[in-house]
């Protein structure tokens, strides 16, 4: 299998010179926006290049890049691609072009809030800087996209430490067994990860852990991506079918469930990869702790509950075929009707804690999530002043 090469070899702005991994999303002044082509994994490790905002939107839609933080990062660079080579009479015209690009990008994956969060941040920054000459403002858009990416890595590492403090590392004789759903690691973020970032932190702390990896149908992000990431990191694991998780919990084989989020509403409801709700309900039945890990950029305080979240529905081919890139054989009768929701919504009552980069949030989530978002805003404002 391909070993991911050091990020510093391909991205001069890398903040982690000890990293053994590419960033999943990175910018190069010659090749433009580069992303790990995730549908090719684990068979091949390839980089795909985007030079237009339309190409970025297509890659987000087809899940070449996936994971809420990663598509937010890709979207921010997509905003720059939308304006970098166009001619504008004024900076106000450039801002209007950014707004059109935001509409295009946001529509690519409506459930994950990080995408619209990142594009909104780019537009807001451009509006605040509209007094700049056009060429300077265009450069500033790229700089803001790079800040979003670099911040993601720092955020994930802070989040990982908060989450690791919640989880005991087992004993020499028996590890702590974690169940992980979907993929939330280096491939789903710019680098390091959210729920998998907690697992990486546990490993760095020398704690004795073992991970059960949900295959995560229908696109098999667990089997294809998480299992591959954990192999790269040398973390003990077993891959299981999604429907085995309840039985493993009943047998006492699972200590903690961890997963990420694509959107968290003000009351703590979590939209995440389909299967998260089932997992959380069964965990509560078996008295297994459930931790959701997400950056504050995934928290949407404008929505009161998960019932207000738009849940994306994807194509039938993901369910009827064994392959996620349409090159494999069918496993279902031709023409069978398919219902394929990409995400589900887990009510807050099934979540023991939501781990962010600012704090561990506990019920009542209306207060703790708002506090975490406020702390994040203050941290970013302080960083901006210092810069």
Positions annotated as catalytic residues are: 262
Report d(CA 219, CA 322) in Å as an integer. Answer: 9
Across the strands, what pairs with 289? 256
Report d(CA 151, CA 199) in Å as an integer. Answer: 20
What contacts 102, CB < 8 A, 6 or more positions away? Answer: 79, 116, 119, 120, 122, 123
CB atoms within 10 A of CB 285: 12
Residue 342, SS3? coil
Across the strands, what pairs with 353? 291
Residue 195, SS3? helix
Report residue 272: phi and psi, to 5°.
-150, 180
Tell me if 329 sits within 8 A of 338, measured CB to CB: no
Tell me if 130 sits within 8 A of 91, measured CB to CB: yes
Tell me if 190 sits within 8 A of 70, measured CB to CB: yes
149 to 76, 99, 250, 255, 367: CA distances (angstroms): 9, 20, 40, 33, 28
């Amino acid at each position: 299998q391909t070993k991911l090469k050091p990020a510093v070899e391909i991205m001069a702005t890398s903040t982690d010179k000890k990293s053994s991994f590419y960033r999943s999303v990175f910018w190069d002044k010659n090749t433009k926006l580069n992303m790990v082509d995730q549908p090719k994994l684990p068979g091949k490790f390839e980089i795909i290049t985007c030079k237009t905002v339309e190409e970025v939107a297509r890659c987000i839609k087809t899940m070449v890049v996936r994971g809420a933080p990663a598509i937010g990062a890709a979207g921010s660079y997509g905003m720059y691609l939308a304006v970098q080579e166009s001619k504008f009479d004024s900076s106000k015209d450039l801002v209007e072009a950014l707004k059109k690009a935001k509409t295009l990008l946001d529509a690519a994956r409506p459930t994950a809030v990080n995408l619209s969060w990142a594009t909104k941040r780019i537009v807001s920054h451009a509006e605040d800087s509209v007094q700049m000459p056009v060429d300077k403002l265009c450069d500033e858009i790229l700089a803001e996209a790079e800040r979003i990416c670099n911040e993601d890595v720092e955020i994930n590492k802070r989040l990982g430490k908060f989450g690791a403090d919640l989880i005991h590392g087992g004993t020499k004789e028996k590890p702590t067994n974690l169940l992980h759903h979907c993929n939330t690691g280096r491939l789903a973020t710019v680098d390091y990860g959210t729920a998998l970032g907690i697992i990486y932190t546990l490993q760095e702390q020398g704690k004795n852990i073992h991970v059960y990896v949900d295959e995560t149908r229908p696109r098999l992000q667990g089997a294809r991506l998480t299992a591959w990431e954990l192999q790269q990191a040398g973390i003990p694991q077993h891959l299981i079918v999604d429907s085995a998780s309840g039985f493993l919990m009943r047998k006492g084989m699972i200590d903690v469930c961890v997963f990420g989020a694509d959107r968290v509403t003000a009351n703590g409801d979590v939209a995440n990869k389909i299967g998260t709700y089932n997992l959380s309900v069964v965990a509560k039945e078996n008295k297994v702790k459930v931790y959701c890990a997400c950056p504050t950029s995934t928290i949407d305080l404008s929505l009161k509950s998960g019932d207000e979240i738009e849940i994306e529905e994807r194509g039938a081919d993901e369910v009827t075929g064994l392959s996620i890139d349409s090159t494999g054989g069918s496993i279902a009768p031709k023409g069978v009707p398919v219902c394929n929701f990409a995400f589900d919504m887990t009510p807050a009552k099934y979540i023991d804690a939501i781990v962010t980069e600012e704090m561990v949030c506990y019920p009542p989530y209306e207060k703790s999530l708002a506090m975490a978002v406020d702390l994040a805003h203050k941290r970013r404002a302080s960083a901006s002043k210092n810069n």
